[in-house]
Chain A
């Protein structure tokens, strides 16, 4: 059974940093591209970052709203994806979902974690 479990969320002050982790199981992690999608309270979905599998270069892409502040990475040996978040703003408050991209197409999200809440507030 595919499982994605996020951790690392919590309350953080504006300007500070936080690292989210996504521990994957039930599939060969290194074969898949992974993404992070966030959802502000009561709002819609915002894609924020993506990392390809090593077989496709392991390259990353970012939404403009987080580019230069957030960095995605992956540890295939431990089946973990990370989202390193710096210079956090109040607008970054959201539930952050770790997601797996389907084998039949990048950015088609076939599995989602339960999400971890990040609250940016002084």
Chain B
């Protein structure tokens, strides 16, 4: 199974500042033939199901604010929130869909400093 490890486990950032969350996979999730990383980011607010933010490592889902961006390739990925808003308080999960079993990171809790 591909193990997804996020860092940090929790993060406190001031409003308007940049937030960065990292995720590392135990093996590459880059499918070279298509040059696509089988990797996504989700946001889960308290009491709600997760919401898709980013897929193919850097493609923003429709309706997601452009302050959210994804980067990385192979085994190392980053979610960046360029200017933190109060509504961004949530737990963020990374996911690989390169092969089954599909696996998620343990989650990163993002709070306001």
Contacts and interface: CB of A to CB of B under 8 A. Distances in A.
Q: Do A and B form a real pair?
A: yes
Interface of A: 35, 44-47, 50, 61, 63-64, 97, 102, 104-110, 112-115
A86 B51 CA distance: 29
B97 A108 contact: yes
A87 B98 CA distance: 30
Contact of A113 (B49, B61, B102): B49
Interface residues of B, number: 22
A50 B100 contact: yes
A35 B105 CA distance: 18
Contacts, number: 57
Interface of B: 38, 40, 42, 48-52, 55-56, 61, 93, 95, 97, 100-107
Contacts of B106: 44
Given A45-B93, A50-B100, A105-B97, A110 B107 contact: no
B55 A115 contact: no
